[in-house]
């Protein structure tokens, strides 16, 4: 009888202790995962921050200002010559204009009788 009482008392104490330990372990795992995710996000933000710092440093430089002036305003330094290269579309359009330079009578004939 005394032995059964001690066994019941031991079970009543050990079961809650084990359950509490399992809860703490699962809580630590969840916290560990959150810390790992936060570390990954922190690393990404640090990399992005470094990229933005480099971009700010470049855009604050004189070379960036000179490049923007040259590209957007079309300005050149003294002694330089500006060369403008036409876009591919402009070349195609100029070819189409030359094809439409046929005399009007031929255009009318092609319209009514079909292309010959």
Confidence band of 80 (pLDDT split at 50, 70, 90) = confident
User: Are residues 59 and 8 located together in one domain of the fold?
Assistant: yes
**Domain tally, the chain:** 2
User: Are residues 54 and 79 located together in one domain of the fold?
Assistant: yes
The mean pLDDT of 71-96, rounded to a whole number, is 73
**DSSP strand E in 1-116: where?**
none
User: Are residues 56 and 18 located together in one domain of the fold?
Assistant: yes
CA atoms of 87 and 110, how far apart (whole Å): 31
Residue 42 sits in which domain range? 2-84
User: Are residues 20 and 41 located together in one domain of the fold?
Assistant: yes
| pLDDT tens-digit series, residues 49-77 | 999 999 999 999 998 988 888 888 878 88
Q: In the chain, how many H helices and how many E strands?
A: 4, 0
């Amino acid at each position: 009888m005394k032995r059964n009482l001690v066994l019941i008392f031991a079970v009543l104490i050990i079961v809650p202790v084990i359950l509490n330990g399992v809860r703490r372990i699962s809580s630590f795992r969840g916290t560990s995962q959150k810390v790992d995710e936060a570390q990954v996000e922190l690393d990404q933000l640090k990399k992005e921050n470094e990229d933005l710092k480099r971009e700010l440093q470049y855009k604050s430089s004189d070379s960036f200002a000179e490049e923007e002036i040259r590209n957007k305003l079309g300005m050149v330094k003294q002694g330089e010559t500006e060369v403008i290269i036409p876009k591919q579309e402009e070349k195609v359009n100029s070819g189409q204009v030359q094809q439409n330079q046929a005399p009007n009578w031929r255009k009318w004939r092609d319209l009514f009788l079909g292309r010959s």
